[in-house]
Amino acid sequence: MAAGVVVAAGAFAYLQHTEPPWYARLWYPLRYATIVRTYAQQQQIDPALLAAVIDTESKFNADARSSAGAVGLMQLTPATAEGIAEYTHGSKFQLSDLTNPDINVRYGSWYLHRLLDHYNGNEQLALAAYNAGEANVDSWVAKNEGIQFSDTRAYVAKIERLKGIYRKAYASELGY
C-alpha cells in the first residue's frame, strides 16, 4: 500500500510539471484573478507569487479563519490589518473588512511588498516572515541561520512550487 502511495505521489508531481496548463487548472483553480493582478502590479510583486500565497493561506476562500485569528484570503490578523489600514490610508478598520477579497489582498500584498523590501527582495526570507513573523526571521538572519521552523520551510517550498504552477497555468489571467 505504501509503495502505491509513493508511486501515485511521484506520478502527480511529474504530471503537474509536464502536463499542459489546463491540467494544472483542474488542481489549482484561480479565483479573484483581476484583484490578484491589480495589487501585484500596484505593489510590484510577481502575480504568480501572490496567487501562490493566497492558495497556501486560504485556498482562495475569502471567509477562511485560522485558529490564530487570521482572516480572509491572505490570512491577516486583525492587528496586522489595522496597522496596515492606518499606515496606508488612515481609514477606520473593521474586522469584516478582512473577508472582502479586494481589501484583504490590498492589505496582504502591501504587507508582502514591505517584507520583500525589508529582506532586500529575498522571497524566501519574506515568505518565512509572512509565516513565522519578522522577529523570528530577523533573529535567524542575525545569527546567519537558515529557516529554523520545519513548518515554515515547508510553507516557503510550497509557495515556490505553486508560484511556478500558477505562472504556467494562468499566464494570460495574471498578465504575463
Residue 6 has pLDDT above 50, yes or no: no
Distance of CA 148 to the CA centre of its chain: 20
Q: Cell numbers of 102, please?
A: 479586494
Is 11 part of any domain? Answer: no
Q: What is the pLDDT of residue 7?
A: 46
Q: What is the pLDDT of residues 101-146, one digit of tens each?
A: 999 999 999 999 999 999 999 999 999 999 999 999 999 999 999 9
Is 60 part of any domain? Answer: yes
List the single range of 38-42, 57-61, 71-75, 85-89 with lowest mean pLDDT. 85-89
End-to-end CA distance of the chain: 42
Which whole-number Å values give the CA distances from 165 to 2, 18, 54, in the listed order?
27, 11, 13
Please tell me the total count of domains within the chain: 1
Read off the CATH number of the domain in which 78 is found.
1.10.530.10
Is 109 part of any domain? Answer: yes
Is 147 part of any domain? Answer: yes
Catalytic residues: 57
Is 25 part of any domain? Answer: no
Nearest Cα to 70, choosing from 131, 161, 8, 154? 131
Is 116 part of any domain? Answer: yes
Per the structure, the complete domain to which residue 40 belongs is given by 30-169
Is 70 part of any domain? Answer: yes
Q: What is the pLDDT of residues 152-169, one digit of tens each?
A: 999 999 999 999 999 999
Is 15 part of any domain? Answer: no
